[in-house]
């Protein structure tokens, strides 16, 4: 909003309304969004019928970084796939890129191994 605008007063009033609890709720409902308010967690619980112990702020979540390592390594493998040194050598000696299923199988194996470690 430009402070030199002839509509500055109206714009400020509208923004104040939009960010009020009432205005935010109306906007969120019409746009199918979760209201941006201090009650967001209870709104999520009500909207999606989610138990309270399943809803939290991002900062309250503990991530398994092994998951990200597996994804990172898989994406690196896929990105190297068109270099001859990482290609599949066919029975006739020609090279070809591995199939998507090859990479998906490697990804599944890595996740299965990680699950076994977590279960131990």
Report pLDDT digits (tens) over 5-55.
888 888 889 888 888 888 888 888 888 888 887 888 888 888 888 888 888
Q: How far apart are CA 16 and CA 21, in angstroms?
A: 10
Placement of tokens 């209870």 in the chain: 42
Tell me, what DSSP letter sits at residue 39?
T
Please tell me the pTM assigned to this model: 0.45
For the chain, the domains span: 8-57, 65-119
Name the β-bridge partners of 96. 88
Note the helical H segments in 19-99.
Answer: 21-30, 40-48, 65-80
What pLDDT, on a 0 to 100 scale, did the predictor assign at position 29? 84
Nearest to 88 by CA among 76, 96, 80: 96
**pLDDT tens, position by position, 66-95:** 888 888 899 999 999 989 999 999 999 999
């Amino acid at each position: 909003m430009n402070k030199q605008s002839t509509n500055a007063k109206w714009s400020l009033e509208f923004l104040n309304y939009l960010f009020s609890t009432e205005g935010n709720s109306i906007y969120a409902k019409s746009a199918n969004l979760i209201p941006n308010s201090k009650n967001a967690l209870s709104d999520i619980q009500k909207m999606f019928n989610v138990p309270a112990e399943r809803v939290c702020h991002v900062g309250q979540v503990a991530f398994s970084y092994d998951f990200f390592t597996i994804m990172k390594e898989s994406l690196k493998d896929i990105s190297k796939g068109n270099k001859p040194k990482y290609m599949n050598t066919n029975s006739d000696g020609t090279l070809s890129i591995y199939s998507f299923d090859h990479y998906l199988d490697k990804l599944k194996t890595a996740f299965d191994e990680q699950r076994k470690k977590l279960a131990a």
